[in-house]
Structure 1
């Protein structure tokens, strides 16, 4: 039985319970655990031998037998994820299920399923959401496997595919994959996804497709497009969503529809990779490079990598799509070259934009030549002004929210440090607060310096809130063509905190009400702003010299994705007589990253980065894991890791694994908890996995020894995204 046991309890992956009747593997049951009754998943059902008969086992409290058992493929996925990412089987299995399902009794679940069956057998009321009233896939189609389904589904929705799209689709149909769809921003990757889904559903009346996106805020616009394409043919329940922004009842309804096969398409974020889909035949991972696919709490899995594994296990085709693929995916899709047999992925290239639209011209601004403390160069301000005059939109990107990163006193040197974290509290001018973005600790801005009483404390640095204010001041004298004032808007985690705020702000941008949009990475990817013709990156240099070897990769991706927001509608550009531009303000314009960006040359950038990583023995040419310890003192955390390191010397594969000394994290203290980590690395993935598996019992044992008494928690992060 897989149940979620307390962290570091070392109870083992599976627990045994007694049942008076046989239960097929995958059955959901309620079982006692300590003083609680919890949800569990039957992993195996065996008759007890005579020797075992004397051993007392707690009895299963009840089975949720109204629900069909979870399929073997799903259980294999969970088992692989638990094994590879060094977590307990029960933790992964239960985290993969909807939260509300864990609290339902057998009778409650049966009643819910009965209500769903009743609603599915009656016409769908237009006022109900798709989560409330899913319909079976077969109800809305003319017949199983209808040959004209793909064409009919696309009627009035899509024009003929471009030559590049058609070639990519032809190879997708002819080959097995996995596939990397390497298409420039605006090349029509989404249309390829949707046509691949349509063709699948035309061939197989029971088939299901999973479409994954990296972030919740990208889901609504893609969801609308998917629903528009498929619901007319399959009914309102054919498309369901799965992401953490949904309520628990909504998530349960979507999960049940997918599990029953009623939902033909599941659209979701990383959690959707664990959706129970018995007839899964296609997985799409859009923007596969995005770090959001790596879970950073609990079981630290990569949804992208699990999607590839699940596709291979269940015989489903997998498409990974990106204009800036992760270097691992790019390496895996390399063509054969001499003695190199090439990667195991098939690369499908779509370098052109739809409608012969040109990629934006990238212009660099050398900030070394600008007056001190210049925020926006005169040339950039003039270019934005020209866009405003023509009724076009500009987008200014700064990946730092708040008004200023820190508030400081010039007299005594006081800074707005967080008392609970090794970080500064950010100054938010709108509500006059100092807010820690790590632990959430918030206070009102003091009237004077808390240390010396100086009333003249000032913001240092610049965030999106301050940039928005600065742009408002600069363009206050300027009028739009209709005589109204220029509209500056900001989209970041602060401005979109309220329910529905993001949707409203995006609608205002799409309608043309906004002239200049300021924002963080939330606006840099995925959005299809048809009137944006200029994008500017204000201060991107920080990532160039980060200690994290992945920082340049992330920066290039972010800037190239940002550039892709400009000039997406070639007809609009032609009508305006305008061109698309990307402006980059930098002190390091000669850096290879910016030179490759000017040419929109991702392959050149990837080659340079991969060459460096090959020499340094870094991923994808090596495999890594982090062991982290959290404690009340840094000394306690590091002592635990030192002891773990010493204990690992005797392990069978220790000689094949490089272990680095324990060090504090970059932000070493969060919410009064000190954090330390140790990096382990190997040229062999198999050796690293075996080493970590052998190490786990030693780590559990250390936790119970004096050296582990002060440790709050420890964890293993396999294939970490940040070091």
Structure 2
């Protein structure tokens, strides 16, 4: 009998090491299918057993034979992760300068990365019959120690019966489902699925919604997307769907999804920027597609639930996948269409671990698969808008609101300077014209929305006598006053403290809050309108699971007269009875050091303004400002996104700022700022050595970050810039490799395409 050739699996593991790890694959000798790339496996790593992904198979290894360990278990019941998913992981690792395992393994649900939880997850649903593979009988019995009476009883019972269902197996051994799945991974048992799915769509049935007739603009947009869905010969250019608020972008998405699902087995991925937008959109999709299995993927799900939804997508049983940024990393073997709603939103950029842009990865994924992608927004990012102007994206425009009786709201400024609204004329930050407009809506039975993007009661507590302010001892920031909880809280490190009875420095009893947050506005409105039903929606009032959706449901049901909120209420919500939007303290972003601050402010104001007048009732937007002549407000009054974008792009081009240049940030943190700066200076020197230096790449001096200290760590950064993305990527690849070999006490990470500088 010929000796079988050596076979090695090259496995990606969740480590910062850039290599794959070689493991010997044991030859079974009974014709068992070989391990294939994409399979999840359990392997020894150091003293632990860890889960990895087989990336490739080879008959040669550069590792000395005596150092190669054997692969323990392959999860054969799970279809291998497809080649296009692996290509996405490789691209993300390469582009964001991370190890492949650091990207691929965290992209999987936690339960799939746990050797202990994996069998239990498979045992929860679906598979209910276990059949002995006769070729594995002797190996199974030989693997059991004599003292393992329950396991031996289960094995002997299976050998005698040939097949056991889950209940019969559990009667023999309490841990039967987990053991049987482990034996299946060894190739000794065959798992037979019943009609039950690993993911059950248990949502309550909703009334089926018929598709409304599209407007001419909507129809034109849909037909363009549908034509791209029908083409098979070339990857279509991404679509940028620019529609004013209330123009019916969601309806275009729904029609495009329906067209995509006409293809047998096709899957659709729909991304939203925030968790609180998911339930509303999920109901819309369930009503429109009641017979399709819909899975949701976001960080608010319990780990077991998220794993089941992910498995449904991976196995192709969920044809519609709706989620936040992490959903772009899901395995979708039959992907046919991608939709990115509110594509401009900074929430699509991950701010920890792998700092990826879900929107950008979605665009790459669509190009890789040769499928359409629709990027929708009333205020597109300047990056996307410029690509549309260049012809790299195909621009689809919705200029009018979809409802024939709905018009864009009138935007007016309350000039706090010109109208003499001095500080004493404000009622806790609310100008009299705004309060008067709220009173008018209350009298008419209409709703008002007041927007202030600052939670808490006041940004700081201060002493007038000595100048003490409530600073965070661990951060370069203030402790925010949360009056209702009688706590001071840092919004950066989470430190909490009781409100002091007197000034810690001078003993003064008269401590006063400075500035205003949503809690203080809510208190002022309750005092001014004691009979009004007032709700506040921000990160503090929606901590419990489901609390945000419950509050939104009350607003939609008309149980709320005045809604006070942060950016959570600014986009995506269709408040039918809101006719007034008031904006408080928008000026703070006008003079930020961040060159993107104006773009973000304009987007926020356009989005929140769009909540008014959506059901045929005239809408009004009142913005309090001390800078009424600012060009940003002039564009806002005209609802002129195109004009605003043109001005911003001209300024960016003159200053050589993105999207006219490409950036990366090397950030370092340490207990002492000098340590972080020293490492960054060393990194800069490395980047200017002859082997790495490039005329197209500029390295700036390291500087402390704006918020220097967070949680007792001092932080600094170094900006790298280039007009050429390929040149920047080539430089970063060699630079990061050198940085990994640099010894330092500082913790560091690289962020490509940073949004905050």
Tell me if TM exceeds 0.5. yes
Deviation of the 1:248 alpha carbon: 0.5
Q: Is the 8 Å Cα contact of residues 43 and 51 (structure 2) preserved in structure 1?
A: yes
Q: 1:20 pairs with 9, 13, 26, which one?
A: 26
Matched, 1:88 2:99: yes
Query: Is 2:570 the partner of 1:512?
Result: no
Native 8 Å contact 2:243 2:376 kept in 1: yes
User: Would the aligned equivalents of 1:2 and 1:93 in 2 still touch at CA under 8 Å?
Assistant: no
Answering whether residue 422 of structure 2 is matched by residue 371 of structure 1, we say: yes
Question: What corresponds to 1:699 in structure 2?
Answer: 739
In structure 2, what is the equivalent of residue 180 of structure 1? 240
User: Following superposition of structure 1 onto structure 2, how do residues 585-604 of structure 1 map, counting pairs within 5 Å?
Assistant: 585-604=624-643
RMSD: 2.1
Does residue 373 of structure 2 align to residue 347 of structure 1? no
Structure-2 separation of matches of 1:540 and 1:383: 18
Deviation at 1:604, TM superposition (A): 0.3
Distance in 2 (alpha carbons) for counterparts of 1:623 and 1:294:
16
Shift of 1:655: 2.2
Whole-angstrom distance in 1 between the partners of 2:372 and 2:732: 31
Residue-by-residue CA offset, 1:412-444 (whole Å, 9 max, x unaligned):
111110111110000000010000000000011
**Structure 1 residue ranges (4+ consecutive) displaced by more than 6 angstroms after TM superposition:** 116-120
User: Cα distance, 1:535 vs. partner?
Assistant: 0.4
Q: What is the alpha-carbon distance in structure 1 between the residues aligned to residue 446 and residue 199 of structure 2?
A: 38
CA distance in 2 between counterparts of 1:507 and 1:114 reads 34
Q: Normalised by the size of structure 2, how large is the TM-score?
A: 0.85
Correspondence 1:635 to 2:674: yes
- Identify the match of residue 750 of structure 2 among 709, 713, 716: 716
Q: Tell me if structure 2 keeps the 8 A contact 1:64–1:109.
A: no
Please show how residues 636-655 of structure 1 align to structure 2 within 5 Å: 636-650=675-689, 651-655=691-695
Q: Distance in 2 between matches of 1:701 and 1:449?
A: 49
Provide the secondary structure at the position in 2 that maps to 1:402.
Answer: coil
Residue in structure 1 matched with residue 44 of structure 2 by the alignment? 32
Deviation at 1:134, TM superposition (A): 7.9
Deviation, 1:2, is 4.6
Aligned equivalents of 2:597 and 2:631: distance in 1? 14
Q: Structure 1 stretch 165-174 or stretch 241-250: which is displaced more?
A: 165-174
| Matched-pair contact (CA < 8 Å) for 2:668–2:716 | yes
- 1:333 counterpart SS class: helix
CA distance in structure 2 between the partners assigned to 1:321 and 1:48 by the alignment: 48
Q: CA, structure 1 residues 116+164, in 2 after alignment: closer, same or farther (shift >3 Å)?
A: farther
Quickly say closer, same or farther: Cα 1:437–1:419, change in 2 above 3 A. same
2:718 maps to which of 660, 678, 691: 678
Partner residue in 1 for 2:589? 543
Deviations 1:328-354 (A, max 9, x none): 0001111xxxxxxx2311000001101
Give the one of 286, 301, 309 matched to 1:227. 286
**Structure-2 residue corresponding to 1:76:** 87
TM-score by length of structure 1 reads 0.89
**8 A Cα contact 1:214 1:286, kept in partner:** yes
Q: Aligned partners of 1:558 and 1:611: how far apart in 2? A: 21
- 1:623 is matched with which residue? 662
| Among candidates 250, 255, 276, match of residue 195 of structure 1 | 255
Partner in structure 1 of residue 187 of structure 2: none
Partner deviation per Cα, 1:556-592 (whole Å, 9 max, x = no partner): 000000001001112xx1xxxxx20111111111111
Q: Is the 8 A contact 1:82 1:92 kept in 2?
A: yes
User: Partners in 1 of 2:70 and 2:562 — Cα distance?
Assistant: 64
Measured after TM superposition, the shift of residue 52 of structure 1 is: 5.6
Cα drift, residue 174 of structure 1: 2.3
For the pair 1:459 / 2:528, whether they are aligned, the reply is: no
- SS class of match (1:205): coil
Compute the displacement of 1:32 (Å).
Answer: 1.7
Displacement of 1:133 after TM fit?
4.9
Q: How many residues align?
A: 665
Deviation at 1:654, TM superposition (A): 2.8
The match for 2:568 is: 522
Tell me the equivalent position of 2:152.
none
Do the aligned residues in 2 keep the contact of 1:370 with 1:377 (CA within 8 Å)? yes
Q: How does 1:264-343 map to 2 (within 5 A)?
A: 264-334=319-389, 342-343=390-391
Q: Which digits, 9 at most, give the CA deviation of each residue in 1:150-200, with x for residues without a partner?
A: xxx998422211111101011112242310010111001111111101111
Match of 1:410 in 2: 464
Work out the CA distance in 1 between the residues paired with 2:297 and 2:604.
25
Shift of 1:513: 1.4
| Bigger Cα Rg | 2
Residue 605 (str. 1) matches residue 644 (str. 2): yes
